[in-house]
């Protein structure tokens, strides 16, 4: 039994299932997860290894090389990069695109095993490596905890309390604290007192390290009980540390610690993280949602918990929202839902205008049924409501009515001719079901490339393919089942068997023009070739891009001081910039992070690694339209006020990418040559006149003080290099010798000299080091011949085990592609010594990788598309005709992009690929009608012309609904270039298709013109 006949005869079942689609779709829509942007997996892990006292060169050769060798054994490895700072190696391991998030944990476990196995190869003094695999976690709710007049510890204690409470909220996966400064117990020992009493530092170290250790003392059986033994003597307060007796092994004397030291609690003089919110010292809480969770629901639950804790919040303590993704998601989903509703309304209005009230309403109802039914399966596929999935529905709208238009058009004509209603339904569905199915598969396959692409861009846009696949499949199902039933029930046109249904004015004009082209075939083809050639030439003038900037009402200021700058100096500069910005009435808030980037609060933001010379300002404004003017206003002001700094203003981006839009990498063995090559590239960038934020990632060289040991004197005194290093370290930074327990806290006990003895570089020679030969402390100057100051690199970077330096910049105005086009030939002309290589990074590499990945995944879908067209017609000439129409879309695309000024980016490329599916679908419908006319015995020439005339309305209506339905996307920065590509390309190509397909059919099949 025919599907249409089955649906009509089983009307009750069909209507009940339709109602289930409507209700189920509405419920699915309301219960779907909501996100601002789709998730994509950051396939990076960090391996951090501390090597105290080592230079960047020593870290690179002795630690990083070992870790990279271990990482290279991973079969899943893509790239391995490293940052080598004084005393620390940070290795970043990135795995291949084909390993999704479900396989990553196994990869990281394997990486841990290999890194653990490599620990025996690390040099003495290197600490155990840490593998951090949650580097890509996103904390969509970022809170600031501050308190005017409260000490730092009180703010941190309250933040810890909040963290414990908020972890109880349903949907919370993890909470991180940023800006917390670890408290320490300082024992400040004067060298004068030590010398006077004849005590050694080792005796102090031993006493402090042993006193508070937790050591089992055993258990003893007493009758029926087994009782634990626990000696007293632990330190129960910081003050009691002063009662600790120090015994000097040489003299045997016992001296209370308070007689030789000042004991206090405090924070490190050089913190690793400093955070402020609107100028107030604060601590940040980053809250991440469970995977697949509803961010909006999480936001409501967190708000409810914070309201509940309001009575327990100390007076004057504030909790502010630095970034609150639930509100962004709610606004974004509401905005896109409104765009979707507008697009549906536009499509229905177009249908009503061009197909009449009955037909238009019927197709509009079928469209709503299709959308609701699609939501059920979209939710089952695990797709959330976000920018890409909702945008995909808008893109699909015009195509969703294509199948219904063809069926309704066929039924309408037959009803007008007085055919039996059931027979008409059976005939129309039988005639069109396979061509429409084939055309639908072709349209789906046009988007399959992005669905099969394995890179981060493919993952980011994957919901586009899933939504289109489900919705287009649903549109075919409803077209051959529900549509015939609803037409059978509600479509009742006037019967006019003698009237020509294609006698209207539009049909007559089109027929005359088509006949004219058919009679001047060579001229028509030459015109098409000329138009296509001009379009290809004009495409060279279209601007290029990757992903557009976000509409976030925020921007970032990356701030670099010269490498080696003290974090307190960096913080002071940032504080002055905060005050400057907060005076602007258009700025809502300013959040600063000093020492490293803040928590990853949005997926497309990548935090900067630890660097005392770095600060980040997150600036929130009233309206994102103001960002350009605000950035322009303060960029020059900050550059003039802080000439030694490198401020970089950056808007948030949509989609994957990196912070610098133009990057060039130089790799090779020698640091000085690499630095010279980088300088040459930067000089070219400066000379362009349109580059800003010019820098390289090795930064400036830093000063290093080298105490030159007098070997003879040091040997006589029994002093070694490690002994000298420990003495110097203790003198300036202090030495951790034990822990003090306070509740659930473990506070390091740090021994160091008083402030007046340790803060002056001139005191270097007076540092005391214990001489085993003399049995006492002696000045360092007795075993050091001189103190030399030299310049050296403060950090070294490697990529795939080669020393690599990256020079980068951004355009001062215009798109990065324009500046890149100007810089590329000049930088590529730089002469490279043997053994050195140059590679392009930045937006060029991201775009190239994404397009390469997309191209690699297009083969199978393209083969399927070709096979489907061959199977539909059982010959090669008709598929060839179909595929020859696809390049004609370039004409409209070029014109549209040049007129609107939109760049041809990754989303525009996706639009062009989808456009090919739409054109093939239209051509299939037209060629199938020609085939039916020929099978009916009609003369070939008239079969071609009559088929083209009969298909003008469904083809034109399908194009019109798609074009006009995408109007709301024109206003969205992310989809605007795709919308222009599809709208302009489809408008031009549809008109040309209605001429070219009949013309090519006549030429390929050698059909002669009618006399």
Q: How far is CA 745 from CA 228, 612, 952, 977, in A?
A: 24, 26, 78, 55
Residue percentage of the chain with pLDDT more than 90:
39
The pLDDT assigned to 357 comes to: 85
Range 230-255 average pLDDT: 72
Token digits of residue 570: 């960096």
Q: Range with the lowest mean pLDDT among 294-303, 350-359, 590-599, 624-633?
A: 350-359
DSSP state of 243: G
Range 65-85 average pLDDT: 93
Max mean pLDDT range (596-605, 609-618, 867-876): 609-618
Range 716-726 average pLDDT: 85
Q: By C-alpha distance, which of 464, 515, 165, 97 is closest to 310? A: 165
Q: Does residue 739 or residue 214 have the better pLDDT? A: 739
State the residue for tokens 């402090």. Answer: 208
Q: Give dist(CA 34, CA 397) in Å, integer.
A: 21
- Number of Cβ within 10 Å of residue 766's Cβ equals 13
Token digits of residue 776: 């006492």
pLDDT category at 81 given cuts 50, 70, 90 is very high
List, in sequence order, every beta strand (DSSP E) within 710-821.
Answer: 735-742, 745-752, 768-771, 776-779, 784-793, 796-799, 802-811
Token digits of residue 822: 């100007």
- Contact assessment for residue 721 and residue 817, using Cβ atoms and an 8 Å cutoff: no
Q: Give dist(CA 421, CA 437) in Å, integer.
A: 23
Token digits of residue 789: 């100051």
Residue 240 has pLDDT above 80, yes or no: no
Q: Give dist(CA 556, CA 630) in Å, integer.
A: 12
Q: Where are the alpha helices (DSSP H) in 295-401?
A: 295-308, 325-355, 357-380, 387-400
Query: Would you mind telling me the total number of residues written for the chain in this entry?
Result: 1011
CB hemisphere CA count around 871 (13 angstroms): 14
DSSP β-bridge partners for residue 90? 48, 83
Within the chain, what is the greatest distance between any pair of CA atoms? 128
pLDDT category at 671 given cuts 50, 70, 90 is very high
The pLDDT assigned to 499 comes to: 62
The pLDDT assigned to 670 comes to: 93
Q: Range with the lowest mean pLDDT among 218-222, 294-298, 676-680?
A: 218-222
- Contact assessment for residue 665 and residue 839, using Cβ atoms and an 8 Å cutoff: yes
pLDDT category at 158 given cuts 50, 70, 90 is very high
- Contact assessment for residue 120 and residue 298, using Cβ atoms and an 8 Å cutoff: no
Q: Give dist(CA 143, CA 951) in Å, integer.
A: 59
Residue 453 has pLDDT above 90, yes or no: no
DSSP notation for 901-957: ---B-HHHHHHHHHHHHHHHHHHHHHHHHHHHHHHTT--HHHHHHHHHHHTHHHHHH
pLDDT category at 533 given cuts 50, 70, 90 is very high
User: How high does pLDDT run on average in the chain?
Assistant: 87
pTM of the model: 0.82
Q: By C-alpha distance, which of 692, 577, 583, 584 is closest to 630? A: 584
DSSP β-bridge partners for residue 770? 777
DSSP β-bridge partners for residue 806? 665
Range 381-410 average pLDDT: 83
Residue 662 has pLDDT above 80, yes or no: yes
Which positions ≥6 away from 590 have C-beta within 8 Å? 277, 278, 279, 578, 581, 582, 617, 618, 619, 620
Range 379-383 average pLDDT: 91
The pLDDT assigned to 249 comes to: 60
Decide: helix, strand or coil at residue 574.
Answer: helix
Q: By C-alpha distance, which of 94, 60, 99, 98 is closest to 79? A: 94
Q: Where are the alpha helices (DSSP H) in 417-500?
A: 421-452, 456-480, 482-490
Q: Which helix (H) or strand (E) holds 827?
A: helix 816-828
Q: Give dist(CA 538, CA 911) in Å, integer.
A: 18
Token digits of residue 581: 């910005």
Which positions ≥6 away from 687 have C-beta within 8 Å? none
State the residue for tokens 């085939």. Answer: 931
Angle separating helix axes 889-900 and 976-1004, nearest 10 degrees: 150
Q: Give dist(CA 90, CA 109) in Å, integer.
A: 18
Q: Where are the alpha helices (DSSP H) in 666-802?
A: 671-688, 711-717, 721-732, 755-758
> For residue 395, which phi and psi values (nearest 5 degrees)?
-60, -40
Radius of gyration of the chain (CA): 36
The predicted-structure confidence for 537-565, as pLDDT tens digits, reads as follows: 999 888 887 777 777 899 999 999 999 89
């Amino acid at each position: 039994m025919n599907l249409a006949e089955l649906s009509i005869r089983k009307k009750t079942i069909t209507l009940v299932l339709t109602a289930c689609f409507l209700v189920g779709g509405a419920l699915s829509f309301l219960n779907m997860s909501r996100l601002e942007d789709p998730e994509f997996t950051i396939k990076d892990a960090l391996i951090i290894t501390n090597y105290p006292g080592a230079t960047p060169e020593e870290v690179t050769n002795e630690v990083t090389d070992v870790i990279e060798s271990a990482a290279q054994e991973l079969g899943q490895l893509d790239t391995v990069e490293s940052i080598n700072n004084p005393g620390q190696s940070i290795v970043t391991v990135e795995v291949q695109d084909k390993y999704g998030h479900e396989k990553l944990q196994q990869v990281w476990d394997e990486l841990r095993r290999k890194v653990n196995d490599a620990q025996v190869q690390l040099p003495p003094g290197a600490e155990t490596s840490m593998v951090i695999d949650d580097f890509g976690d996103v904390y969509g709710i970022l809170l600031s905890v501050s308190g005017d007049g409260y000490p730092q510890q009180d703010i941190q204690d309250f933040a810890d309390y909040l963290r414990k409470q908020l972890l109880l909220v349903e949907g919370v996966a993890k909470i991180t604290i940023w800006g917390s400064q670890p408290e320490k117990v300082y024992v400040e020992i004067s060298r004068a007192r030590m010398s006077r009493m004849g005590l050694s530092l080792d005796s102090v170290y031993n006493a402090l390290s042993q006193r508070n250790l937790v050591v089992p003392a055993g258990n003893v059986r007493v009758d029926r009980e087994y009782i634990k033994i626990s000696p007293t003597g632990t330190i129960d307060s910081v003050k009691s540390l002063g009662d600790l007796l120090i015994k000097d092994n040489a003299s045997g004397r016992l001296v209370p610690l308070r007689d030789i030291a000042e004991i206090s609690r405090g924070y490190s003089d050089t913190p690793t993280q400093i955070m402020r919110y609107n100028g107030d010292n604060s601590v940040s809480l980053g809250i991440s949602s469970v995977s697949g969770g509803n961010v909006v629901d999480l936001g409501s639950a967190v708000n409810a918990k914070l309201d509940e804790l309001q009575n327990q919040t100390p007076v004057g303590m504030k909790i502010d929202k630095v970034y609150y993704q639930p509100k962004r998601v709610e606004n974004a989903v509401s905005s896109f839902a409104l765009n979707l509703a507008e697009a549906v309304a536009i499509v229905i209005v177009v249908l009503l205008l061009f197909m009449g009230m009955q037909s238009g309403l019927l197709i509009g109802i079928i469209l709503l049924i299709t959308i609701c039914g699609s939501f059920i399966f979209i939710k089952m596929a695990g797709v959330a409501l976000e920018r890409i999935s909702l945008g995909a529905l808008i893109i699909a709208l015009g195509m969703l009515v294509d199948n219904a238009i063809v069926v309704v058009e066929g039924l309408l004509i037959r009803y007008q001719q007085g055919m039996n209603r059931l027979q008409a339904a059976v005939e129309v569905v039988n005639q069109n079901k396979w061509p429409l199915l084939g055309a639908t598969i072709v349209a789906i396959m046009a988007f399959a490339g992005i669905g099969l692409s394995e890179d981060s861009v493919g993952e980011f846009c994957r919901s586009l393919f899933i939504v289109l696949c489900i919705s287009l499949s649903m549109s075919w199902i409803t077209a051959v089942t529900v549509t015939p039933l609803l037409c059978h029930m509600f479509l009742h046109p006037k019967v006019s068997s003698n009237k020509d249904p294609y006698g209207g004015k539009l049909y007559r004009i089109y027929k005359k023009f088509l006949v004219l082209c058919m009679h001047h075939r060579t001229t028509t083809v030459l015109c098409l070739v000329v138009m296509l050639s001009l379009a290809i030439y004009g495409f060279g003038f279209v601007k290029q891009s990757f992903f557009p900037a976000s509409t976030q009402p925020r921007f970032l200021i990356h701030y670099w001081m010269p490498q080696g700058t003290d974090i307190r100096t960096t913080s002071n500069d940032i504080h002055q910039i905060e005050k400057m910005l907060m005076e602007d009435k258009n700025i809502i808030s300013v959040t600063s992070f000093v020492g490293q980037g803040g928590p990853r609060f949005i997926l497309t933001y990548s935090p900067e690694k630890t660097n005392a010379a770095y600060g980040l300002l997150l600036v929130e404004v009233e309206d994102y339209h103001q960002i350009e003017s605000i950035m322009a206003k303060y960029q020059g002001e900050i550059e003039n006020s802080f000439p030694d700094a490198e401020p970089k203003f950056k808007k948030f981006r949509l989609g994957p990418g990196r912070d610098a839009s133009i990057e060039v990498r130089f790799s090779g063995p020698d640091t000085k040559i690499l630095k010279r090559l980088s300088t040459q590239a930067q000089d070219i960038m400066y000379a362009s006149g349109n580059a800003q934020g010019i820098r390289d990632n090795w930064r400036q060289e830093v000063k290093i003080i080298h105490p030159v040991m007098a070997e003879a004197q040091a040997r006589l005194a029994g002093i070694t290099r490690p002994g000298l290093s420990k003495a110097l370290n203790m003198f300036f930074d202090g030495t951790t010798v034990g822990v003090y327990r306070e509740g659930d806290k473990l506070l390091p006990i740090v021994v160091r000299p008083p402030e007046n003895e340790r803060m002056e570089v001139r005191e270097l020679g007076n540092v005391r080091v214990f001489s085993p030969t003399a049995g006492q402390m002696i000045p360092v100057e007795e075993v050091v011949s001189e103190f030399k100051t030299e310049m050296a690199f403060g950090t070294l970077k490697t990529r795939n085990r080669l020393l690599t330096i990256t020079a980068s910049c951004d355009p001062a105005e215009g798109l990065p592609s324009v500046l890149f086009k100007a810089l590329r030939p000049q930088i590529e002309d730089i002469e490279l010594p043997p053994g050195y290589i140059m590679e392009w990074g930045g937006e060029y590499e991201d775009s190239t990788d994404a397009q390469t990945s997309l191209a690699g995944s297009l083969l199978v879908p393209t083969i399927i598309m070709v096979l489907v067209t061959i199977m539909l017609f059982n010959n090669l000439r008709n598929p060839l005709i179909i595929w020859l129409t696809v390049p004609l879309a370039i004409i409209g695309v070029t014109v549209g992009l040049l007129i609107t000024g939109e760049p041809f980016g990754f989303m525009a490329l996706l639009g062009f690929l989808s456009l090919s599916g739409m054109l093939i679908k239209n051509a299939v419908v037209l060629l199938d009608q020609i085939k039916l006319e020929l099978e009916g015995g009609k003369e070939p020439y008239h079969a071609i012309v009559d088929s083209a005339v009969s298909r003008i309305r469904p083809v034109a209506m399908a194009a019109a609904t798609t074009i006009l339905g995408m109007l709301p996307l024109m206003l969205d920065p992310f989809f605007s270039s795709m919308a222009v590509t599809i709208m302009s390309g489809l408008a031009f190509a549809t008109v040309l298709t209605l001429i070219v397909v009949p013309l090519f059919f006549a030429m390929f099949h050698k059909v002669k013109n009618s006399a």
